[in-house]
Structure 1
Amino acid sequence: MQKSHSAKGLIVITGAGQRVGLHCAAALQRQGYQLVVSYRKMTSGITQLQQAGVHCIAADFTRLDSMAAFIAALAPYPSIRALIHNASSWQPDLPEQQADSSLSTVNQLQQDAAVFDEMQHIHARAPYLLNRALLPKLLASGDGADIIHLTDFVASVGSSKHQAYAASKAALENLTLSLARQLAPEIKVNAIAPALLMFNEGDDDAYRQKALAKSLMAVAPGPAEVLQSILYLLQSEYVTGRVLALDGGRHLKLP
């Protein structure tokens, strides 16, 4: 762990093991920020960040003891310039049970509740708890601080197959509004809501074309789009309580 503190301050990013979180962590460090990140599973990306001097902490934010350990690991840092909540899990709803299902009603409810609870724990409860626990360090940053929530396009339109996920991201957007009201003017609180940013390696061409056709811009812009939004929010002195939509005009792609 680096002992000296960057002139630009400390940025904490949850969920930086791959994709958007990894890209943003590496880029922000190159721009002169000190980085502390969380990860749930060791990845080659975390190894790369560690080799670059980023303080990487294993944490499972569905468990309060693991969250407490993550908070304790931040004790040596006197202040936080920005707290970016990127940790996420895109878990689908379970298939609907048929009338002749062998599962009892209680078991069916337990399985559905497990999906719903995990989505809420990762996307809403963890940011809520971490924001409260780390508030003194954010207030100590001196020249203002930022909380940035990574939400999703579906938070505003819903999802037929990821209802629990969409509901949890909507809860996070509402927390954005409440915190912005509470913490201004010392701390700006905003959300970034992407639609399609990048594909997975296993996505076939038919799926890619169908996904691209959902937006007006018809591109998958990659994680740099989120990075540019983060930099904009960090540099702004006026934007708070907003959800920045990164959706390529998808909201206007009407039938």
Structure 2
Amino acid sequence: MTSPILITGTNKRVGQQLAERLAEAGFDILAVNRSPATSQHPRIAHFQADLRSREQREALLAFVRERYAALRGIIHNASLWLDDGLDNLETMFRIHVEAPYHLNLELGELLRRADRADIIHICDDSSSRGSKSHIAYAATKAALQNMTLSFASLYGPAVHVNAVSPGLLIFKEDSTPDYQRKALGKAVLQYEPGAEPLIQAVFYLLESNYSTGSNIVVNGGRHLRGN
């Protein structure tokens, strides 16, 4: 029986490309999404669950424990970029903090059974610098980044726990040319890079023997421009 990498949020955009690239590289993937599966890759198995729901997370945990003897890793990619507001804060907290915390704690034993295991938190460049227009989003991603340190300490050395914090990767479908121009101008490397920088960072962490509790920032040098 294989030891897959469990990845959340793989039905579109960066998450979908990440899951398919890892599958093409020979990893078995368990993709967890709120909506029906979109990828048909033979190495990608699917489980449908809304990770905001504790009951649906419990169903996922039962499925994983019954089907797999070990896990190669968990990549927490599921994310929501919502406007500020108390209801949206609660929603993003459940996705960005509660769900990763719950899955990491409950699946620790399966991770320890693998010859090599990784947890990777997909955070955000705003985790460290904040965001005046998306305060709740940045705050919940910052909590996820902080959990990287705690779980790295808790599960080390058997399990490597790291984070990747991307800046702009792919523009939203409804973004205007003016928004795109302003967004690109905030970085030193002023182009839309696509999913590749994040995928490269994930591959590095899955292969690295001497990285845990770390955060890889892939933001095109935005921090150098002071905005």
- TM bucket (normalised to shorter chain) is over 0.9
TM-score (norm 1): 0.85
Identity %: 39
Where 1:50 maps in the other structure, the secondary structure is: coil
1: CA distance between counterparts of 2:153 and 2:105? 14
Return closer, same or farther for 1:227/1:51 CA change in 2, 3 Å cut-off. Answer: closer
Equivalent residue for 2:95? 122
Rounded to whole Å, the distance in 1 between the matches of 2:32 and 2:130 is: 28
- Structure 1: tracts of 5 or more residues without a match: 95-111
- Structure 1 match to 2:6: 12
Three-state SS of the structure 1 residue aligned to 2:183 is helix
Matches within 5 A, 1:1-255: 5=2, 9-42=3-36, 46-47=37-38, 49-50=39-40, 52-74=42-64, 75-94=66-85, 112=86, 114-142=87-115, 144-254=116-226
- 1:131 is paired with a residue whose SS is helix
1:51: Cα distance to partner? 5.1
Report which of the two structures shows the higher radius of gyration computed on alpha carbons: 1
In the TM superposition, what is the alpha-carbon distance from 1:200 to its structure 2 partner? 2.2
The one-letter code sitting in structure 1 at the alignment partner of 2:72 is R
- Counterpart of 2:226 in 1: which secondary structure? coil
| CA displacement, residues 222-249 of structure 1 (integer Å, 9 cap, x when unaligned) | 1111111111001100011011001111
- In the alignment, what sits opposite 1:104? none
Alignment-mate amino acid for residue 210 of structure 1: K
The separation in 2 between residues aligned to 1:219 and 1:240, in whole angstroms, is: 30
CA distance in 2, matches of 1:51, 1:28: 11
Long gaps (5+) in structure 2: none
Cα contact 1:50–1:56 (8 A) shared by 2: no
* SS in structure 2 at match of 1:57: strand
CA distance in 2, matches of 1:235, 1:51: 23
Instruction: Name the CA distance, whole Å, in 1 between partners of 2:226 and 2:97.
Output: 30
CA RMSD of superposed structures (Å)? 1.3
- Counterpart for residue 108 of structure 1: none
Structure 1 runs (4+) greater than 3 angstroms displaced: 50-53
TM-score w.r.t. the length of structure 2 is 0.95
